Structure 1
């Protein structure tokens, strides 16, 4: 009954609990339960949140239960972006930075302790940068000074790193379940990027409905094929998992394993700059999607503030660095989810009472309780390597076509390729230095000036 009176005729965002520049909102009290988004989130957000579990158990020394627990921490922090801080974006990882980050950390640091210390250093460096740029408002100016060729090189480097991680560094995973992985990959690529399929989808409501489930059809087909081929087997356990928080903290928290040395913070700077460039692009994308849709909902006015967004992401990364460090899982946008939720929000109040309510529902209002139920987690366990592979490959594919569309001339295309190559196969700082030097030599210092069109 409370929700019925709060929304009628309002011209601002839904009510909430103001604290400083932020607004917290509670389900039922401040937001209507949006059941379609909640149902999707229970499956898609939960499965995707566990995608890093295989990597955490093999390369970072965590047990399966500890890996699930750190994923729960990450999910809560991601959901806080909208539920606790009131940001009107569907948050996610800084996904294009993930393959570059993994390549950097896994190739340069040998022990799980060193790797988590570097993850802490990366997260703290990013938090400091974001907080400073958010308070001063300098973020936009910094990004506009970066030449297009270097931006494209960073994004193309993310594509190279993603494909290298899957098809070179972790190829044994594909060898273990080739049919399942190939079918999942082909299905998701067709559903996401195939032009013939997009045309077929316009003519068929059933295809359109299936495609709306995102990665789930790929998982479904992979599951059936994997069971038939003997690549996938399920060992369902019953009960509720008690998160081993103490054991996890003993392996990941800087309060226990020790703080990173100063050299780690310095070594992290180039990669943090790469991640920030990607993150700012995500922020602009999220805003563009909202601006395109907001005229359809004058009753639900959006509260967009990029400086506040910087501060919110800084807080999330800072908290993560202390208790669950894994860079770069605290970004500002999960583009696919953002598009889906905003599209339904545009259809009117009957479909979705408020955008904040719809996004919050997708993220289970910050309570990923589903991950505590052993039948659910153990059922999803065989799919986790597939989820990580799909995350990396789809990210790489998307980054590739975005990057290749950015350069305007042959010089920029050449610089893009050089920057990407050195980012992936050398240290991140080498890639940035090569990109800057190439721009200065081949285009000139004027490339670093803000163009009027920007």
Structure 2
């Protein structure tokens, strides 16, 4: 039986402390557009396979099994009331790989990853349990929030276009895919066309799906990607849990030494600083969705998101350490679903329904052999597209957050330092600039603006 939402209220749920348990079909409608989008977008999730095999030296079968387990853990967010699509701590991946390269591939490197992921999980846990996460999100100045978002956005785009980036390897497929993705997701002209044509409106309801499909078609035609070799024999891939535990779990290979845990601390802190940008992005996207419609109240709680992210990282650190780590947000897809949600209740009944449908579907898709073999050739291009869309979203949100000229200047410098040096350097520079440039009058003016915006938001929700 489907529980119906009262106008202006939250989607029904089963209360469980800070968590809000929701099951698909029972607590929210199944959104078919997100279902079909997830089938092809699972290619990005599967993009972890070549990284895992190269960095950890595991077999393709073990890496695929690790992706399936990661997909199961993704579902925890929508299951426990987090209204976003979770993902990796994507910008930290090159930093994580650089950290792991200091250790010999095999047991030594795996133990270093175990130490890192367990520490990241503990940081998430501390911020979630103490309630510090929500306080930090609320009290961090706009200029610093914008700087974090700007740094994450520029890093995502720069990584694809720099020497050795995926754009140089798949220029035609990436160009065609990203132009279509930008047009479908962000073009005002396309939104106007959707109102006039039913086919175009339907096309727009599938988010990034058409862009990935176009890359699958164009890539082989121009010789940048191989033709998919779809396997239709065995239908479901069962993860080799015993093999993963034997190869990677600290219960089998031994726990890292104290010195390795100490060496991993700076990288763990940087990973959380980067993930903090995802919380800022999540809050911004949810606020935009709340302001766009009055029929549903969407509750984003940074403490809850931290706790779920902590559980994922701790489980993986103990049984299936993951080079991508477990982050609170897949910005590109969350924004894509949020964009369709803004089209009204006919387009999507509930935001949590769209987010939940997507993640339940990817959980199944990454274990479905015909789907995996279909999208396997396009894995690097799909990853490139999602990073380029994430870059657009983060830079746009960063500019929206800025209220004053000082905000813009601090954000610009801070974002650049994040890309050029590291997240830790960028945060330090941002804090110093904020203290130097934002006097008490500026702070009071910002608080007054935030108070006014908050009052407007409250009034719009009560209409």
TM-score of the pair, normalised by structure 1? 0.80
CA contact (8 A) 1:151 1:277 kept: no
Aligned to 2:279: 280
CA contact (8 A) 2:275 2:328 kept: no
- 1:387 deviates by 0.9
Q: Which of 99, 105, 130 is the aligned partner of 2:96?
A: 105
Aligned to 1:417: 412
Q: Which of 321, 331, 334 is the aligned partner of 2:328?
A: 331
Q: Which of 44, 48, 60 is the aligned partner of 1:64?
A: 60
- Kindly indicate whether residue 371 of structure 2 is the aligned counterpart of residue 383 of structure 1: no
Q: Which of 182, 185, 188 is the aligned partner of 2:181?
A: 188
Paired residues for 1:17-416 under 5 Å: 21-22=18-19, 24=21, 26=23, 30-31=26-27, 34=30, 36=32, 39-40=35-36, 42-83=38-79, 85=80, 87=81, 89-93=83-87, 97-99=89-91, 101-110=92-101, 120-168=114-162, 170-171=164-165, 173-231=166-224, 232-237=226-231, 238-239=233-234, 240-257=236-253, 258-259=255-256, 261-285=260-284, 287-288=286-287, 291-292=290-291, 295-296=294-295, 307-324=303-320, 325-331=322-328, 334-336=333-335, 338-339=337-338, 342=341, 346-347=345-346, 359-364=355-360, 368-416=363-411
C-alpha separation between the residues in 1 aligned to 2:223 and 2:421? 39
Distance verdict in 2 for CA 1:332–1:387, change over 3 Å: closer
Q: Secondary structure at the match of 2:185?
A: helix
Distance verdict in 2 for CA 1:38–1:126, change over 3 Å: same
TM-score of the pair, normalised by structure 2? 0.79
Aligned residues: 436
Distance verdict in 2 for CA 1:161–1:279, change over 3 Å: closer
- Kindly indicate whether residue 422 of structure 2 is the aligned counterpart of residue 431 of structure 1: no
Distance verdict in 2 for CA 1:370–1:152, change over 3 Å: closer
CA contact (8 A) 2:144 2:431 kept: yes
Moved more, 368-377 or 206-215: 368-377
Aligned to 2:453: none
- 1:384 deviates by 0.5
Q: Secondary structure at the match of 2:156?
A: helix
C-alpha separation between the residues in 2 aligned to 1:400 and 1:445? 27
C-alpha separation between the residues in 1 aligned to 2:405 and 2:24? 53
Q: Which runs of 5+ in 1 are unaligned?
A: none
- 1:188 deviates by 1.3
Q: Secondary structure at the match of 1:346?
A: coil
- 1:227 deviates by 2.4
Distance verdict in 2 for CA 1:304–1:203, change over 3 Å: same
* 1:106-147 residue CA offsets vs partner (Å, 9 max, x unmatched): 334315567655654554444334433333333333234433
C-alpha separation between the residues in 1 aligned to 2:17 and 2:61? 36
C-alpha separation between the residues in 2 aligned to 1:357 and 1:214? 15
Distance verdict in 2 for CA 1:248–1:13, change over 3 Å: same
* 1:413-433 residue CA offsets vs partner (Å, 9 max, x unmatched): 343233223222223322222
Q: Secondary structure at the match of 1:218?
A: helix
- 1:9 deviates by 8.3
Moved more, 124-133 or 71-80: 124-133
CA contact (8 A) 1:234 1:378 kept: yes
C-alpha separation between the residues in 2 aligned to 1:355 and 1:155? 23
CA contact (8 A) 1:116 1:326 kept: no
Q: Which of 426, 433, 447 is the aligned partner of 1:451?
A: 447
- 1:385 deviates by 0.6
